[in-house]
Amino acid sequence: MKKFLEEFKAFALKGNVMDMAIGVIIGAAFGEIVTAFTNDFINPLIGCIGGAEVGGKLHLLGDQYLLYGDFITSVINFIIKAFCIFLMMKAVNKLMSLGKKKKEEEEAAKPAEPTKEELLLTEIRDLLKEKK
């Protein structure tokens, strides 16, 4: 039992598991932001244009209905949320690339150190010059 608990501890504290847990928590919080944005901003704008709810049901048997309007509304909301996430991720990637460009520019400004092969070839050249 002790070995099992040690294995579990090693697994749970492994970097990948912790990164994934953080990603899930941030993803849930981000999902709430996107849901609030969709419900509080996008849906009212669509409501002004012509309505955000698609109503419709098809009577099957007895009290059974096929609620295709709810399904269409869910698909529309999914597309809106996916588009919002796309735009937000595009903005985040743009910000990340600005930081990378700055680092690349700083690294490019530094003169590159010669490789081992270049140093060896330089030594050989200098030795050949001395022999002449």
Residue owning tokens 């039992």: 1
More confident residue, 6 or 80: 6
- Regarding whether 132 and 75 lie in a shared domain, the answer is yes
What's the token pair of residue 113?
């150190």
- Regarding whether 73 and 114 lie in a shared domain, the answer is yes
Cα dihedral 9, 10, 11, 16 in deg (nearest 10): 120
- Regarding whether 124 and 78 lie in a shared domain, the answer is yes
- Regarding whether 41 and 83 lie in a shared domain, the answer is no
| pLDDT tens for each residue of 68-119 | 777 777 787 788 778 877 887 888 888 888 877 777 777 666 777 888 888 8
| pLDDT tens for each residue of 28-45 | 887 788 778 777 877 777
Band of pLDDT at residue 54, cut at 50, 70 and 90 = low
- Regarding whether 100 and 39 lie in a shared domain, the answer is no
Total domains in the fold of the chain? 2
- Regarding whether 131 and 83 lie in a shared domain, the answer is yes
What range defines the domain where residue 12 resides?
A: 1-52
- Regarding whether 126 and 97 lie in a shared domain, the answer is yes
- Regarding whether 67 and 35 lie in a shared domain, the answer is no
Q: How many other C-beta atoms lie within 10 A of the C-beta of residue 63?
A: 6
- Regarding whether 38 and 60 lie in a shared domain, the answer is no
Spatial separation of the C-alpha atoms in residues 53 and 69, rounded to whole Å: 8
Band of pLDDT at residue 22, cut at 50, 70 and 90 = confident
- Regarding whether 13 and 39 lie in a shared domain, the answer is yes
